[in-house]
Structure 1
Amino acid sequence: MFPARHLLCQTVPVTPIRSLGPVRRYLSWENEQRCRGLLKESANKYKQDAVSAAVLVPLCSVAGDPALLYTLRSSTLTGLHKGDVSFPGGRRDDSDRDVIATALRETQEELGLHPREDCVWGIMQTVPDKTKKTVTPVVANLGPLEHLSLKPNPQEVEDVFTLSISHLLQEKNQGYTHFCKKGVYSYTLPVFLHGPYRVWGLTAIFTELALELLAPGKYRRRTRVLGNR
């Protein structure tokens, strides 16, 4: 499905941001530096937290257009999230140095990729899952999809797909679900529609955080999740 090439994170010639199309600016060198700066504070705050799990939020480009890379978890897995759309990730291991190590290790185990730590832009806000365990999203740019050699682990991953940033930013592809407890409004979760699969739950929250980071002013957050810090 994908050409067998190796993933490399290396310095590329800087293209002036004004010469790029509006969509391609999201992965420009200038935008990367801006995002790294914004994430530096949260990295210091969350990197050493005793979190339960971490996921990689993989940025990439498809035919030059910025996108997010998603997986569909195998329906044969046990647990609450089998068959769900997700980002690569999982529980933190005692041998992991920090949450970045957890996210990179899980990406290697699930997708056969070996992204280096210099691909990582930073750490976003830690969010509690349904069981109140904390999950930390780690943002990294994997580069052009055409240059990646993906080898999904069939025991964990049923499918791999991408959604472009331009698709995710269109309001027609955005939805929201309001939740009530005992008839009283409790919280709202985002849903992203009209792709190969519906993106919802924690993965949609992390997608929303990524859109806010990459495209300030282009995406309006309308969720309210209790327990967020």
Structure 2
Amino acid sequence: MQLSLPSRPPAVLRTLSSAQEPMFLRPALLSRSLCTKDFQQLPNEALSAGTEQRCLQILGKTPLLQRVSAGVLVTLCTSHGTPAFLYTLRSSKLKGRHKGDVSFPGGKFDSSDADAIDTALREAQEELGITLPRSTVWGPMKPITDWTGMVIVPVLANIGCLEDLAANPNPEEVESLLTLPLSLACTSSIRGCTCFRQHGRYAYTLPVFQLPGYKVWGLTAMMTDSALSLLFPGSYHSVLSGSRIR
């Protein structure tokens, strides 16, 4: 979604953790993985052709709803040779309650969009400054209805090697780009959850991914959690599995 805001310097790419930043990828942190005892093997397989085919088959069973409110591109990529999620840090000058949040590219459905996949790809182009072919899409994930009643469709996609994309983020919407390696996303050191109560009783649980200086929460955390469950079936344990809102 475009907003008329003052021009800002080009957004920069920030890697939340990588081999070049051992302060975030220390052995003590890596040893506590919720995925597998030897999780360091997982990143090499996470975006393999076999994983893609398996995900295509699963996501191909999810029907595209005719009436949706928004589409979000859950962006997988390879950053410095490491499979990762790509997020945007929303500009702090945007209006609304989600300014400054860590998010996936996405926005409201437009009448020109054929479906939620078109919405997600169009919004990614507007925010990231890159045109992504529909072939990058693995498929729509389970729709999410937020507290306002909006029906949001997460669309899982592998956009490839980040260094080759030459992203040119829209400074009116995006302050910077952030990557989170899948291996780090699976560790208990950054994963947490928030339990919500209603009328004095437990209502539901939502995941949180806590990183130095940043927090992935809300719908973005739910989409991240669901994507990890899809990528690592049987080994990644989602906090949403016991929640009423799954």
Query: How far apart are residue 142 of structure 1 and its match?
Result: 0.7
8 Å Cα contact 1:163-1:195 kept in structure 2:
no
Does residue 1:31 correspond to 2:51, yes or no?
Answer: yes
Q: Return the alpha-carbon distance in structure 2 between the equivalents of residues 212 and 182 of structure 1.
A: 31
CA distance in 2, matches of 1:51, 1:88: 16
Alignment-derived partner of residue 76 in structure 2? 59
Q: Partner letter of residue 43 of structure 2?
A: V
Q: Which amino acid aligns with 2:124?
A: T
Give the match's secondary structure for 2:211. coil
Pair 1:69 & 2:86 matched: yes
How many Å apart are 1:48 and its aligned residue?
3.2
Query: Which segments of 5 or more consecutive residues in structure 2 lack a partner in the other structure?
Result: 1-11, 14-39
SS at match of 1:210: helix
Task: Describe the SS at the equivalent of 1:97.
Answer: coil
8 Å contact 1:73–1:82 — kept in the other structure?
yes
Whether the 8 Å CA contact 2:72–2:152 is kept in 1: the answer is yes
Deviations 1:194-226 (A, max 9, x none): 255110000000000100111112210122555
Q: How far apart are the structure 2 equivalents of 1:73 and 1:173?
A: 21
Structure 1 alignment gaps of length 5 or more: 3-19
**Runs ≥4 in structure 1, deviation > 2 angstroms?**
223-228
Q: CA deviation at 1:128?
A: 1.3
Q: What amino acid maps onto 1:30 in structure 2? A: G
TM-score by length of 1: 0.86
Q: Distance in 2 between matches of 1:41 and 1:211?
A: 18
What secondary structure, in the 3-state scheme, does the structure 1 residue paired with 2:214 have?
Answer: coil
Partner residue in 1 for 2:147? 130
TM-score by length of 2: 0.80
1:122 touches 1:138 (CA, 8 Å); kept in 2? yes
Contact 2:71 2:107 (8 Å CA) reproduced: yes
Looking at structure 2, the residues matched to 202 and 208 of structure 1 have their Cα atoms a distance apart, in angstroms, of: 10
Name the Cα RMSD after superposition. Answer: 1.6
Asked if 1:48 is matched to 2:65, the reply is yes
Verify the 8 A CA contact 2:43 2:182 in the aligned structure 1: yes
Alpha-carbon contact 2:204-2:245 (below 8 Å) kept: no
Output aligned runs, 1:92-111, within 5 Å.
92-111=109-128
1:212 matches 2:229:
yes
Residue 153 of structure 1 and its aligned partner are, at CA, apart by: 0.8
The residue number in structure 1 matching 2:29 is none
Assess if the C-alpha contact under 8 Å between 1:60 and 1:142 holds in 2.
yes
Alignment-derived partner of residue 147 in structure 1? 164
Question: How many residues are paired up?
Answer: 208
1:39 partner letter: L
Q: Is the 1:127–1:227 contact (alpha carbons within 8 Å) kept by the matching residues of 2?
A: no
